[in-house]
Chain A
Amino acid sequence: MYLSKGQIEHESYDSIVDECIEKHGEFLIAILQDIQKRYNYIPEDAMRKLAKKLGITLRDVYGVASFYKAFSFTPKGKHVVTTCTGTACHVRGSSKIVDAFSNELGIKPGETTKDLMFTHETAACLGCCAIGPVVVVDGDYLPKVKTTAIRKIIDGTKRGAAILEEEDQRIFPIQVVCPQCNHSLMKPEHLVDNYPCIHVTISFKRKHGWLRLSSLYGSFNIESEHDIPVDTEVNFFCPHCHAELVGSSTCPECSAPMILMLVTNGGNIQICSRRGCKGHILDI
């Protein structure tokens, strides 16, 4: 059973240590495993009591407990997310998954979130290299994890179980350039939906600022310097040549002007300039 931090501090470890010793005798690792299962970590005082009761020095208990990575001396989160960083998973980009978890949870590998919900760990190899990159959430193995699925995994875990949904094949990242100056509009240092964003400058109602669009085709996530009210028609400009990115046609859904950008692999994409409208035309 999982206990909150406050409960642990007030509890005495005598009974649980006695219980474990009765169950396992003098087998230290088994006792430590039971204590860890009970508290989600091994409290210092429990180890002191254990050493006293087994008649061995604290040094020996601590030496064994620190040897195994499975034992933790700091409280672990309710959910443990382990990313495999073994060779097979590494070449399939598991380091990006680790980074994505770090970004999403705001903690480095080996740390626990402040609300004690998630512990983020890495493992050297989980032994199932064929389905890599692998993420293990509370004992469930998730195969072929992609960075775009990290958010879903975390949300799913919070709700109960992490289920890796089949990825929508219609969602894929695109790269675009300005149709006037041919400069790339991509900004790799800023990620939206974990992909490099499309960076343009905009103006509406005498306001000027930057706008970052998700480069995932099918995603409508944006980041903007100013809040854009819904139904506002926005003018888009190239940040390099300052030419307006304006298309020839109008939106098939709301007949607002369309924004034109060239796709690097050939073709062009037009998106509706009205905030809130999802009208777009992809021509490859």
Chain B
Amino acid sequence: MNIKIDGIRVDIPEGFTLLEAAKFLGIEIPTLCWHEGLSAWGGCRLCVVEIGEGERKKMVTSCTYPVEEGIVVHTASEKVVKSRKMILELLIAQCPTSRTLQDLASKMGVIQVRFDPKWENCIYCGLCVRICNEQMMARAIGFVNRGNKLEISTPFDKNSEDCRKCGGCIYICPACTLRCQGINQDNVLCNACYNSLQPTCISNEDNYNCWMGLKNECGTCSKEESKNI
């Protein structure tokens, strides 16, 4: 099927999803609840892309949307980037202790969380339920209750006979990997990696030579200069 991703025309076999097509082309789409080897879920919404043109543009999750003949996809339009940041903000507000989320925030340039942090330990991505179901064939844990009472648990909150204690759920859980316990560990957003990725020229006293050869382009030098004045 001929599709067009970010202006690149490419022939993708039927049955592929937009995410797989983008990966094939080397276009990076951030994902969280998607995992190769597990079924697509479309729960975290981080992989949203814009499809269609003009009036008929709409946002879909690329991990669940199959390729269509002649479809036009934008994986990093302004709207897409903005909504991904918003989704990540909401996810971080739910679980600020997750390293996976904090890393994504640094990568995507999320520098503020405008929501009250809930400090929960689950973001309901469903990865553990799917790995238990599809890879470990145990079907021990699942979603329990509904709406704001939703949780992931074993039936009746008791030790399940189906569970073999393989640990697959913990292995795959993005919320179980705690973020580094640096000085900002009580903040909702640590952004330590984001800060360490800043150009090193900040410490350079005379910014005659940017390490990236981009004098004044990233704006860090001029920001520093204005601070000094």
Chain A positions near chain B (C-beta within 8 angstroms) = 44, 47, 57-63, 66-69, 73
Q: Which chain B residue has the least Cβ–Cβ distance from A56?
A: B139
Contact, CB under 8 Å: A66 / B146 = yes
- Taking CB atoms, residues of chain A closer than 8 Å to B141 are 59
**Could you tell me which residues of chain B, from 152 to 180, have a CB within 8 Å of some CB in chain A?**
154-156, 160, 162
Docked-complex contact A67 and B146, CB < 8 angstroms: yes
Tell me if B145 is interfacial: C-beta within 8 Å of chain A: yes
CA distance A62 to B146 in the complex (A): 12
Indicate if B142 sits at the interface (CB-CB under 8 A).
Answer: yes
Contacting residues, chain B, for A47 (C-beta < 8 A):
155
Residue B108, interface by CB 8 Å: no
Question: Are A58 and B145 in contact, with the CB atoms below 8 A?
Answer: no
Q: Which of B139, B143, B145, B146 contacts A57 (CB 8 A)?
A: B139
Residues of chain A within 8 A (CB-CB) of B139 are 57, 59-60
**A53 vs chain B, min Cβ distance (A):** 16
Partner of A59, one of B145, B146, B155: B155
Q: Which of A44, A59, A68 contacts B160 (CB 8 A)?
A: A59
Is B144 in the interface zone, CB < 8 Å from A?
yes
B122 on the A face (CB < 8 A):
no
Decide yes or no whether B90 CB sits under 8 A from chain A: no
Give chain B's interface residues, CB within 8 Å of chain A.
Answer: 139-146, 154-156, 160, 162
Residues of chain A within 8 A (CB-CB) of B145 are: 66-67
> Bound state CA distance, A213 and B141, in angstroms?
57
Q: How far is the CA of A47 from the CA of B160 in the complex (A)?
A: 14
Q: Across the interface, do A63 and B144 meet the contact criterion of CB distance under 8 Å? A: yes
A66 to B143, CA, bound (A): 9
> Please, which residues of chain A bring their CB within 8 A of the CB of B142?
59-60, 62-63
Could you list 16 examples of A-B contacts with CB < 8 Å? A44-B156, A47-B155, A57-B139, A57-B162, A58-B162, A59-B139, A59-B140, A59-B141, A59-B160, A61-B155, A62-B142, A62-B144, A62-B155, A62-B156, A63-B144, A68-B146
Contacts of A73 in B (CB 8 A): 156
Q: CA separation between A67 and B141, bound complex, in Å?
A: 15
State the CA gap A62–B158 with chains docked (Å). Answer: 12
Give the top 7 A-B pairs by smallest Cβ distance, nearest first.
A62-B155, A57-B139, A59-B142, A63-B142, A58-B155, A66-B144, A67-B146
